[in-house]
Amino acid sequence: MDYILIKGLNKNFNKVKALANINISIKKGEFVSLLGPSGCGKSTLLRIIAGLEDPSSGEISVNNNDLANIPVNKRNMGMVFQSYSLFPNMTARENIAFGLKLKKVPQEEIKIKVQEIINLVGLNGRENHYPGQLSGGQQQRVALARALVVNPDVLLLDEPLSALDAQIRITLRKLIKQIHNKFKITTLFVTHDQEEALSISDRIFIMNKGEIVQYGTPEKIYKNPETKFVANFVGTYNLLTPKFLNQPEDCSNIFIRPEHISIILEDTVIGKNTFRGVISNVYFLGNIVRLNVIVNDTMLLIDTLNRGDNVYYEGEKINVYVPSDKCLKIKS
């Protein structure tokens, strides 16, 4: 059963169309990411759901309740922003308790709930610090705790990790996933980072220029992109010509991921879909070695697992295998 249902949603800012005919259904307890480049409309969509923006047309319902009939303060949604949006004159504990006080929750209950959430997000020892005394990661933990402590029906996360350092982003990403696994709060997560979306989502909705261009599980999105935009935005890819694979000329946009192309032994007989090439560039990426390999007039991008013994050099000649079953046809 659909818990959040968005039908025919449009949003115009003067003559600019920010959202065009958005249709989304989300099940209760699902973790959904809105993934796309800056300016594609994903944050606008989240703000409309939260009630911070009005749609130009369309409908949004949560648990069969039309949000148009529900005031913002009655929607029982928790929201976390990229900019933290904490009260600078309140301690972490006071910031977390703010929503409960607005709801006139008894003081003793507030004390218990706030301490529980402080323990959950790992703010012990920092609860009496002011935002200015906390790191960016700690401030975002406060913002997350403040959104969770009111026991929301829906959790809205608007690029909550984008302003943080890489290692802190990974840590908080794990925390967000752990919290979702524990409470199963229906969650919408806005991000432009494909790794974030792939790692924590049940489903991903890819947005571009105000439209949803594809949706599905992380695995489906990655393995079966429907357009060149999706293929390029979610991971990297090779685009091959029909001539390269001896395909009919009307077979255009043949796509394959770099990790699906294999490097094979030097003495292998060159056969179908096996090619001789020259390494033009070598990139060390930690657990991955990325190669640019020139085959005839085509540049192939190849990712191979770094096992410590696979050393490659620019100018080296190698044989590569392009498996037909990993090649997909995609739209322009």
- What is the model's pLDDT at position 254? 87
Assess whether 199 and 259 both reside in one domain.
Answer: no
Assess whether 100 and 62 both reside in one domain.
Answer: yes
What b/e sequence results for 126-152 when a residue is b if at least 16 CB atoms lie within 10 Å of its CB, and e otherwise?
bbebebeebeebbbbbbbbbbbbbbeb
CA contacts within 13 A on the Cβ side of 198 = 11
Assess whether 188 and 261 both reside in one domain.
Answer: no
Assess whether 97 and 217 both reside in one domain.
Answer: yes
- What is the model's pLDDT at position 280? 97
Q: Domain with 106 in it: what CATH number?
A: 3.40.50.300
State the alpha helices, DSSP H only, in the chain: 42-50, 92-102, 107-121, 136-148, 166-183, 194-200, 218-223, 228-233
Assess whether 119 and 83 both reside in one domain.
Answer: yes
**Domains identified in the chain, total number:** 2
Assess whether 204 and 250 both reside in one domain.
Answer: no
Backbone angles phi, psi at 248, to 5 degrees: -60, 145
Q: Domain with 278 in it: what CATH number?
A: 2.40.50.140
Residue with tokens 């933290």: 84
| Final residue before a domain boundary, out of 214, 233, 252 | 233
| Final residue before a domain boundary, out of 202, 233, 264 | 233
Assess whether 178 and 251 both reside in one domain.
Answer: no
- What is the model's pLDDT at position 248? 59
| Final residue before a domain boundary, out of 233, 253, 268 | 233
Per residue of the chain (332 residues), what is the pLDDT tens digit?
799 999 999 999 998 999 999 999 999 999 999 999 999 999 999 999 999 999 999 999 999 999 999 999 899 999 998 888 899 999 999 999 999 999 999 999 999 999 999 999 999 999 999 999 999 999 999 999 999 999 999 999 999 998 889 999 999 999 999 999 999 999 999 999 999 999 999 999 999 999 999 999 999 999 999 999 999 999 999 988 877 877 655 556 789 999 999 998 776 666 678 999 999 999 999 999 999 999 988 999 999 999 887 789 999 999 999 998 898 888 76
**Structural domain containing residue 205:** 4-233
Assess whether 225 and 268 both reside in one domain.
Answer: no
